[in-house]
Structures are given as C-alpha cells and as structure tokens.
Amino acid sequence: MKDFISMVDADRLFIENIISLSSFLKEKQKKGELYRPLEGFTAALIFEKPSTRTRVSFEVGVYQLGGHGIYMDNRSSQLGRGEPIKDTARVLSRYVNLIVIRTFGQERVEELAKYSDVPVINALTDEEHPCQVLADIFTIWEYKRNLKGLKVAYVGDGNNMCNSWLIGAAYTGMKFYAATPKGFEPLIEYVEKAKEIAKDTGAEIVITNNPIEAVKEADIIYTDVWASMGQEDEAEKRKEIFMPYQVNRELVKHAKSDFLFMHCLPAHRGEEVTNEIIESDRSIVWDQAENRLHTQKALILKLVRKVNL
C-alpha cells in the first residue's frame, strides 16, 4: 500500500497491524522511551479545513518519530491561489517524504495521491475520516481486547465518520448499526461495500431510522456533530430533525450496562450528546482523542517504512 486515502484501502490484516504497532508506540511513550526512526524525515501537512486534534496529533507524531512537519494552509501555499493540486503533488514529492491532507472533496485527495511519488494520507474529507476510525478501533480494542461480534451503534448524521466506520466495522467483523433520520443515511456505495466485505468477515451491517433499534444491547454508542464544517447554515434546521437521535440518559438505557460512549470531537453538548453522558464513567472520548497520536504514528511508519509488528 502506497497511500491511505480511504478505509477501503485497508483490510483486516492492515488494521490488526496498526493496532499492534499503535500499542507498541503508546507503551514506548508511557515509559518515556525515545523512538525516533525517522530522523531526517519531512512531512507536508496540508490543511484546507481548520483542525485541533488532527493537526496537533500529526505534527506531534511526526516530531516524536524524529521527523519534521511543515504546516500549510490556503493562506501559506499556492493552493489557496488556484494552483492545480496535481502540480502541488509533483513539486512536494521532490521535497518531502509524506503528504497529509485535510480538505473538502475526496477527489482532491485522490488526485493528490495519483500525482504524488510519496505516500499520501487522508486526514479528513467531506466523504471520509479514515484516520479517526483507525484510532477508534484501536481504542475499542484497548478496552475490549476483541472486536469481532461487538455491536457499535452509530447515532446521528450519516456523514464522513459514518462512511468510514462502515468499512472499518466490516473489516473487523463487528456489528455496525447506523441510526439516522430519513434522508441523512450514509452514502449507499459505502453501505454496499461494507455489506460486500461482511460476507467474508461475518460482520453485520444495518442502516435504520430507529435509534432505539441501533442502541439495543450495544457495546459501543458513537455519535458526531449534527452539522459538519460547511453545513453551518443548516444547523438550526438540523437540530429539530436530529433531536430524537440525541445520546442521553433515556437512549443509553437500551444499551448494555457496560456500554462505552465515543465521540470524535468537537462535541456540541446539549445537541448530539448531553453533558451527563460525555462526562460519565462510560465515556472514553479522551482516550479516543489521545489515540489519534499513536495510530497516526503507526500509520506513518507502516506507509513510509513498511513496519509490521
């Protein structure tokens, strides 16, 4: 694998390797042991969308591995002045060892990867958020030590998170139930791909409009904001539509008593989740956020150095 631009690029073995390598790297950091196999390594970090966790985790991760990250936004690069992304790809490939991009259309990442001679990582598009799902799966593994057969209830908007989660759950043999309002389901091509993968892995993929059906006996309850970046004008309308999908005390009663709550952050407390739930002892969102660092370091090593554990 040269690039990681979609969860579809992964498979079961790839995810298992990322889990093992992430665990190794996390343990090294906990012990305060330096592990810097990428001395002299440079990564271009192209951010056309604002970010907290993604930017900081990638910058810190590259630094901790011994490399140097160069942050580029539309104000500090020619992309903001209309340079074709394929030209940027060709030039950066001659300067850096890796390109990380957080942007709008999935097609921009695909074109960047097509014309780049170095690995490209999708750090988020409107269609997918695969790096987040790698961290999520690793976090669940830390708590459960097993993935196959676990039930994940995704409640809310069938957005980029849901699309990537469909594929990640299918590869790992989980039961993935996505509950969304009518008209807000995940993209059909991701649903179909997940169901195709599930034939080989034993995963269960269910799309429903009933949040209680999704959450019933769930091991994991997952949600995301109701209005993503670029949808701010729809925020008030979406609140009305999505309120029955709020993760609150009443909804979680239908899950297993030891369910875990996850959110990719930032969270709008009082909208997709109540403060009571996100601050409860069932919430693992802070471990989930931390693990972005470890899984992204693992991903970089796997793409650049072909490291396996």
Find out whether 72 is annotated in a ligand binding site.
Answer: no
Q: How far is the C-alpha of 26 from the C-alpha of 21, rounded, in Å?
A: 9
Which of the following is catalytic: 64, 132, 246, 288? 132
Find out whether 228 is annotated in a ligand binding site.
Answer: yes
Find out whether 224 is annotated in a ligand binding site.
Answer: yes
Q: Alpha-carbon torsion 258, 149, 255, 180, what sign?
A: positive
- For this structure, is 292 an active site residue? yes
Which of the following is catalytic: 136, 292, 294, 296? 292
Which of the following is catalytic: 224, 238, 263, 288? 224
- For this structure, is 162 an active site residue? no
Which of the following is catalytic: 55, 102, 238, 263? 102
Q: Please choose, from the candidates 83, 128, 78, the residue with its C-alpha nearest in 3D space to the C-alpha of residue 103.
A: 128
In eight-state DSSP terms, residue 80 is G
93: phi then psi, degrees, rounded to nearest 5: -60, -25
Amino acid at the residue 240: E
Amino acid at the residue 7: M
Find out whether 52 is annotated in a ligand binding site.
Answer: yes
Any idea which residue has 């592990």 for tokens?
Answer: 35
Contact 85, 108 (CB under 8 A): yes
Find out whether 131 is annotated in a ligand binding site.
Answer: yes
Find out whether 102 is annotated in a ligand binding site.
Answer: yes
Find out whether 164 is annotated in a ligand binding site.
Answer: no
Cα within 13 Å of Cα(114), Cβ side: 10
Find out whether 162 is annotated in a ligand binding site.
Answer: no
Find out whether 160 is annotated in a ligand binding site.
Answer: yes
Find out whether 246 is annotated in a ligand binding site.
Answer: no
Q: Across the strands, what pairs with 44?
A: 70, 99
- For this structure, is 102 an active site residue? yes
Find out whether 122 is annotated in a ligand binding site.
Answer: no
- For this structure, is 55 an active site residue? no
Amino acid at the residue 59: E
- For this structure, is 287 an active site residue? no
Find out whether 292 is annotated in a ligand binding site.
Answer: yes
137: phi then psi, degrees, rounded to nearest 5: -65, -40
Which of the following is catalytic: 136, 238, 264, 288? 264
45 C-beta neighbours (distance < 10 Å), count:
23
Assigned token pair, 16: 């298992």
Amino acid at the residue 130: P
Which of the following is catalytic: 55, 108, 129, 238? 129
Cβ neighbours of residue 199 closer than 8 Å, sequence gap 6 or more: none
- For this structure, is 29 an active site residue? no
Q: How far is the C-alpha of 135 from the C-alpha of 121, rounded, in Å?
A: 14
Find out whether 84 is annotated in a ligand binding site.
Answer: no
Q: Across the strands, what pairs with 223?
A: 155, 263
Residues annotated in a binding site for carbamoyl phosphate:
51-54, 78, 102, 129-132, 264-265, 292
Residues annotated in a binding site for L-ornithine:
160, 224, 228-229
Catalytic residues: 102, 129, 132, 224, 264, 292
Residues annotated in a binding site:
51-54, 78, 102, 129-132, 160, 224, 228-229, 264-265, 292
